[in-house]
């Protein structure tokens, strides 16, 4: 609940104040500073979008400037905001940087899960990925185990807490005679709802602890069978390209061992991958 409150405060901060100032990288932004940077980044993004079709070379530095403005708000404002992440993803996508666009959209999902525009743009970015790698989790019955990822964790927590509290309230009401009818079926239903939400949150937390999801952001990279470019052969016959989504399972100096969505593993230079 605290995280939700912080996100609401962050959203309110972005609709306050007006004018642009330059702040040091390590300075904490004031509310007014954040709004000024936000307004400036939006104006620059709009200018870049207007000229992008006819003059992409001139639009590119403007998109980069907009990205820098949004990132400054996130970093120096000490906030996490899905809208800013979404805007950064849009700028990267228009720049043709599919990998970083997917990273930004995936980060935006933390607070904007289910948003139609976000999901549409994320799908568009994924459609541009050169490599077609099938996700094992979408095969067979495995997809049934991932239902919870479509519902925000905060919603699952509230539903589970309400189900648990209501279950005990119903049982106590029956025990003291307030309720005259049988409540066993109701109690079992509420217990199932609580168990499903609790299990979902536990599984999600365990998955987060075990692995870190990431995206390849290099235009092209050779996966290796070990953490060294000269000492190990390529893992695959072809290079991997920007936008491929992976899970980080081991870190070595300058290298990451990652698992592709189809279950294959490979080593990649750390500079080629960005964690979500």
The percent of residues in the chain predicted with pLDDT above 70, rounded, is 82
Regarding whether 118 and 66 lie in a shared domain, the answer is: yes
Q: Per residue in 120-147, pLDDT tens?
A: 999 999 999 999 998 765 544 444 445 5
Q: What is the mean pLDDT of residues 81-85?
A: 97
Higher pLDDT, 184 or 84: 84
In a domain, 133, yes or no: no
CA distance 221 to 214: 15
Q: Both 239 and 260 in a single domain?
A: yes
Q: Is 166 exposed, middle or buried (0-12, 13-18, 19+ CB in 10 A)?
A: middle
Task: Give the domain CATH number at 65.
Answer: 1.25.40.10
Whether this prediction's pTM lies above 0.75 is answered by no
In a domain? residue 132: no
Note whether 111 and 56 are same-domain residues. Answer: yes
At 203, the pLDDT band (50, 70, 90 cuts) reads low
Nearest-angstrom CA–CA distance, 3 and 177 = 40
> 7 and 115: one domain?
yes
Based on the fold, state whether residues 112 and 171 are members of the same structural domain.
no
Instruction: Please tell me which residue, 107 or 20, carries the higher pLDDT value.
Output: 107
As a whole number, the mean pLDDT across the chain is 84
Domain, as residue range, for 57 = 2-127
Instruction: Say if residues 248 and 211 touch (Cβ distance below 8 Å).
Output: yes
At 148 the pLDDT is: 56
Q: Do 231 and 254 sit in the same domain of this protein?
A: yes
**How far, in Å, CA of 225 to CA of 232, rounded?**
6
Closest CA to 256 of 219, 220, 208, 216: 216
Q: Measure the CA–CA gap between 26 and 76, rounded to whole angstroms.
A: 7
Q: Does residue 188 share a domain with residue 122? A: no
Q: How many domains does the chain have?
A: 3
């Amino acid at each position: 609940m605290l995280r939700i409150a912080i996100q609401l405060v962050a959203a309110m901060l972005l609709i306050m104040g007006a004018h642009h100032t330059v702040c040091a990288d390590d300075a904490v932004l004031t509310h007014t500073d954040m709004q000024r940077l936000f307004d400036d980044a939006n104006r620059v993004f709009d200018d870049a979008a207007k000229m992008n079709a006819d003059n992409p070379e001139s639009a590119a530095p403007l998109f980069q400037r907009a990205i820098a403005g949004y990132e400054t708000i996130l970093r120096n404002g000490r906030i996490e905001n899905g809208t800013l992440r979404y805007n950064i993803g849009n700028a990267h996508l228009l720049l043709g940087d599919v990998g970083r666009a997917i990273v930004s959209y995936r980060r935006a999902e933390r607070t904007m899960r289910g948003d139609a525009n976000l999901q549409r743009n994320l799908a568009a970015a994924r459609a541009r990925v050169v490599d077609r790698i099938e996700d094992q989790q979408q095969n067979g019955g495995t997809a049934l185990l991932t239902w919870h990822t479509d519902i925000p964790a905060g919603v699952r927590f509230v539903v589970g807490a309400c189900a648990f509290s209501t279950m005990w309230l119903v049982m106590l009401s029956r025990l003291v005679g307030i309720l005259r009818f049988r409540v066993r079926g109701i109690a079992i239903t509420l217990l199932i709802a609580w168990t499903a939400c609790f299990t979902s949150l536990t599984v999600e937390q365990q998955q987060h602890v075990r692995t870190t999801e990431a995206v390849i952001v290099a235009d092209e990279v050779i996966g290796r069978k070990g953490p060294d470019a000269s000492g190990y052969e390529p893992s695959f016959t072809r290079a991997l390209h920007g936008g491929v989504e992976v899970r980080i399972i081991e870190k070595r100096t300058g290298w990451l061992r990652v698992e592709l969505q189809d279950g294959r593993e490979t080593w990649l230079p750390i500079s080629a991958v960005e964690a979500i």
